[in-house]
Structure 1
């Protein structure tokens, strides 16, 4: 039996606890300072997580952030980070202050950070921040792939990918987590998996916008949106993801598997980033969407666009990337950073 400590009791942190508990492992689910009501509700009743809207196994132990201690980390075999992307700094602070000995760390949390004129992933940030405590990059893993939290908690078949530099560590983690419904592939392309996981939120905004930008003429029953524009944008988005993964230091083929294409498909189908795309497709201004229907929401895709803009434009200027190959990426940056209406010129895309 393994002992897992999960930081973040939101939907994804709670959902990933389910296969671990089903495998008979000891799981402690720690709420952040924003999760107090969730932990309180779970302590009273595991039958319905207040945000996930699904039951949580009785074997999972909810824990308030105030009760998290060095002993919590000392008795854990592994730490899983399941906070939202803005919480990564909070997580690093907790790990630095409370984790007395190095432990393998897996991140569900996805995002990119500007660093010394380039971008780095959260897995790299965590490893660098904890290096003086004995945590190496080989001990930090990324979790990618198409995974809607509610479906995982409902034990629907789900395919994911664990990525890292230490094969033995990856295999132990897979053996801990894999069930009949939670299927795990392994990859040593940590950079590729991490950048795809961040970019799919970003690119899903544009693909989703096609669903509301283009409507079927004389619609058939139960079908109002035109499908061709979204499919065209989806295909181009995957190509751009592959090129950006290679630029980031990963392998382009990673974008054509569950970490890229698969995860983009799920994200386009639902979630905060797709809702932003739907609104932009209806010609709502970005600022109006963020202050209105999406007020208070964490939009990882928009955050990624902001940090991607300057390094990407530097790569264009230096000739390392051809801007003509990235029409969707450039259109999204013009909307997210510069406030322009989202406009994708299909005549500028060389479909192959």
Structure 2
């Protein structure tokens, strides 16, 4: 039996407790300062997580962040970080304060960081900020937390530079419904985890930009398919520029996760709003007010990268036309517009 500590009682952190507990492991779920009410609810007999429609299984103990002590982390086999990107600073502070022995740490947090013109993944920046982290593990792939919490079939990928560490965690977590693969391309998995939120904005815009009233859902399909393919190609190129492998973008961490993100969530809702001609500011001040839309933060970080143009015999061609269109909408508050003649058709 392994000892697992999960930081973050939001939807994904809590959902990951389910396969861990189903495998008979001891799981401690630690809420963030934003999770106080959730922890109180889950401590009640039969307490259901308000956003998962499921109660944590037996074997999961939930505590508040201010109850966390060094002894809670002692002899832990793995620490799992399940907070959103704005919570990374809090996680770094609390781990450096409470950890007393080395331990591998797995992250479902998605984001990129910039220093000047350099853009990096958490796999490249966090190890130096948490000295007692013995290994960084990135968790990627298509995973809707509510579905995992309700034990619907899910496939994800665990990444670590030391493949044996990824394999050990996968062995702890894998069930008949939670299927896992492993890779050493931790930078690629982390890059795709952030980039798919960004690209989901542009792909989702196609769902409303070209309506088809003869369909039950009112959506034409060709534009979305074309831009989904474009997004995957651009993800592969950006993944390589960030230090990962292009092939990672064509697997679970890339196109797989992009597919499920386009299917719903905050980035998808923003994109659908942009497809109707609204601006980012209009969406963030109305339907998405107070929401963390990770793709918007990623756009701001990508602004530090030079998304150059490719020159062909016919003249300049945007090398990242979809990324450029999304960034214009986010950073310059333009109405979303994508010139299909710039798409890279293969």
- The alignment's TM-score, normalised by the length of structure 2, stands at 0.96
After superposing the two structures, state which structure 1 stretch, 19-28 or 114-123, moved more.
114-123
CA distance in 1, matches of 2:280, 2:286: 10
* Residues 1:285 and 2:283 aligned together: no
8 A Cα contact 1:46 1:58, kept in partner: no
Partner of 1:234: 228
CA distance in 1, matches of 2:310, 2:46: 55
In the TM superposition, what whole-angstrom CA distance separates every residue of 1:70-111 from its partner, at most 9, and x where no partner exists? 111114221000001100011000111110111100001110
CA distance in 2, matches of 1:53, 1:280: 30
Report the CA distance between 1:43 and its aligned residue. Answer: 0.2
Partner of 1:57: 57
CA distance in 2, matches of 1:152, 1:273: 20
Residue of structure 1 aligned with 2:138, choices 142, 157, 161:
142
Partner of 2:121: 121
8 A Cα contact 2:18 2:56, kept in partner: yes
- Segments of structure 1 that go 5 or more residues without pairing to the other structure are none
CA distance in 2, matches of 1:8, 1:46: 20
Partner of 1:345: 339
Residue of structure 1 aligned with 2:177, choices 162, 181, 197:
181
8 A Cα contact 2:157 2:183, kept in partner: yes
Runs of 4 or more above 4 Å deviation: none
8 A Cα contact 2:310 2:317, kept in partner: no
Report the CA distance between 1:47 and its aligned residue. Answer: 4.6
Greater helix share, structure number: 1
8 A Cα contact 2:140 2:189, kept in partner: yes
Give secondary structure in 2 for the equivalent of 1:304. helix
* Residues 1:316 and 2:331 aligned together: no
Partner of 1:206: 202
Alignment of 1:183-198 (within 5 A): 183-198=179-194
Residue of structure 1 aligned with 2:239, choices 230, 242, 245:
245
CA distance in 2, matches of 1:223, 1:335: 25
Partner of 1:41: 41
- Name the Cα RMSD after superposition: 1.6
Alignment of 1:8-87 (within 5 A): 8-87=8-87
Report the CA distance between 1:117 and its aligned residue. Answer: 2.8
Alignment of 1:92-111 (within 5 A): 92-111=92-111
CA distance in 2, matches of 1:8, 1:318: 43
Give the number of aligned pairs. 342
Residue of structure 1 aligned with 2:263, choices 264, 269, 272:
269
Partner of 1:4: 4
8 A Cα contact 1:10 1:52, kept in partner: no
- Segments of structure 2 that go 5 or more residues without pairing to the other structure are none
Distance 1:270 1:317, change over 3 A: closer
8 A Cα contact 2:270 2:288, kept in partner: yes
* Residues 1:215 and 2:215 aligned together: no
Report the CA distance between 1:325 and its aligned residue. Answer: 1.9
Give secondary structure in 2 for the equivalent of 1:104. strand
CA distance in 2, matches of 1:317, 1:335: 19
Report the CA distance between 1:318 and its aligned residue. Answer: 12
In the TM superposition, what whole-angstrom CA distance separates every residue of 1:124-180 from its partner, at most 9, and x where no partner exists? 22201023x4x35xx111000000000001111101000011122111101100000
8 A Cα contact 2:7 2:82, kept in partner: yes
8 A Cα contact 1:88 1:122, kept in partner: no
Partner of 1:332: 326
8 A Cα contact 2:28 2:61, kept in partner: yes
Report the CA distance between 1:58 and its aligned residue. Answer: 2.2
